Amino acid sequence: MKKRRLVMRTTILIVLAAAVAYTLYANLTKDNRMKVEVGKQAPDFALVDMEGEKHKLSDYKGQGVFLNFWGTWCKPCEAEMPYINNQYNHYKDKGVQVLAVNVSESELAVNQFAERKGLDFPIVIDTDGQVQAAYGINPLPATFLIDKDGKVVKYHTGTLTESTVREFMEKIKP
């Protein structure tokens, strides 16, 4: 009788505690719950670059992809661009591809920016925001490291230094 009561009470308390713990967990992680999780397959996308060439993420299987989301007005994005460009030139023959996704700006703004900064890597414009939605982008700049199997290795938001960019490229070098 007494034992049954203890089992009963313990069960009820455990059920209640589990419900509360789940609610708290779900609530506290809802803001940083990523659309794209580290260790999972990166969502495929296809965008056309400024030269008219189509870039499909899944076509880069076998290579590492340094995926950067940026805007011309975003100062930290601007600051890290030269570093990315340097390391791109260093790593492009070692199997690391850079894809810079601009967030819905005009071609003119993007072209002028690329020219001013002397950027060599392919830049694509996500005009209607589909790719941003798929990756849950906010805030800028946002960088995803995708390995040769198409899996997300790392997500980073905020300015990168040249050494971090190098470290990142090293990480996804096949």
Partner 1 sequence: MKDIKCECGHVNPHGTVLCEACGKVFDEQSKDKSLLDMRYEGSARRSQTYNKSIVDKIWNFFSSVKVGVWLIVITLVASAAGTILPQEMYIPPTMPAEEYYEDQYGWFGKLYYELGFNNLYSSWWYLVLIAMIGISLVICSLDRVVPLYKALKAQRVTRHEGFLKRQRLFGTSENVIEQDIAGVRERLKAKRYHIREENGDLLAEKGRFSRWGPYVNHVGLIVFLIGGMLRFVPGMYIDKVLWLREGETKVVPETDGQYYVANEKFILENYDKERDKTFEAAIDRAGMVVKNYQTNAVLYKRVGPAIPGEKPELKKVKEHAIRVNQPLKFEKFALYQVDYKLDELNTMFFSLTNKSSGKTFGDIKINLYDPKPKYDLGNGYQVEVLSFFPDFEFAESGEPTTKSRIPNNPAFVFKMTSPEAPNGETSFVAIQQTIEPLGDNQYKMAFKGIETKNVTALTVRKDLTIWIIMLGGILFMIGVIQGAYWNHRRIWVQHKNGEIWIAAHTNKNWYGLKREIESVLANTKINIPIDQIESQKVDKEGV
Among 38, 53, 59, 112, binds partner 1 (CB under 8 A): 112
In angstroms, the CA 125 to CA 64 distance is 21
Q: How, if at all, do strands 54-56 and 64-70 pair?
A: unpaired
Query: Between 19 and 79, whose beta carbon lies closer to partner 1?
Result: 19
- Percentage helix, strand, coil for the chain under 3-state DSSP, each rounded to 5: 45, 20, 35
Q: Which of residues 42-71 bind partner 1 (CB under 8 A)?
A: 43-47, 56, 71
Among 19, 34, 38, 79, binds partner 1 (CB under 8 A): 19
* Distances, alpha carbon 98 to alpha carbons 3, 22, 48, 110, 153, in Å: 65, 39, 14, 16, 15
In angstroms, the CA 110 to CA 28 distance is 37
Among 30, 51, 93, 118, binds partner 1 (CB under 8 A): 30
Is residue 128 involved in binding partner 1 (CB under 8 A)?
Answer: yes
* Interacting residue ranges for partner 1, rule: CB under 8 A: 2, 5-6, 9-10, 12-13, 16, 19-20, 22-24, 26-28, 30, 33, 43-47, 56, 71-73, 103-109, 111-112, 124, 126, 128-131, 133-134
